[in-house]
Amino acid sequence: MQDKGPYDLIIANILPGPLKEMAADLVACADENSAVILSGILNEQAEDVLRVYQTLGLEHRKTLKNREWSTLLLRKTAS
């Protein structure tokens, strides 16, 4: 996943399982102050996905909900 980068913006719209499995690689590709947008997540799964990314150092900025779906807006802050 890290052939190029780091990236200022990363968007992933896939199921929670793969989002959690690829979390470490995805965060490693993010530049300092990068925006990370994760979607394809059911509302009841959002907290679980969020916890994984927060553990890796991303800051939760906002959760957008549209019916049963959540989109997580995150930011990678300077270490």
- Residue-wise pLDDT for 4-23, tens only, equals 789 999 999 999 999 999 99
What is the reported pTM? 0.91
Domain spanning 7-76, CATH class: alpha beta
Q: Which tokens belong to 67?
A: 């019916």
Q: How far apart are alpha carbons 33 and 31 in whole angstroms?
A: 6
Query: What's the confidence (pLDDT) of residue 79?
Result: 63
Handedness of CA 61, 65, 66, 68 (dihedral sign): positive
pLDDT in tens, 32-62: 999 999 999 999 999 999 999 999 999 999 9
Give the start-to-end residue ranges of the domains of the chain: 7-76
Angle at Cα 51 formed by Cα 45 and Cα 56, nearest 5°?
135
SS3 63: strand
Mean pLDDT of the chain: 94
Query: What's the confidence (pLDDT) of residue 78?
Result: 77
35 in Cβ contact with 9 (< 8 Å)? yes
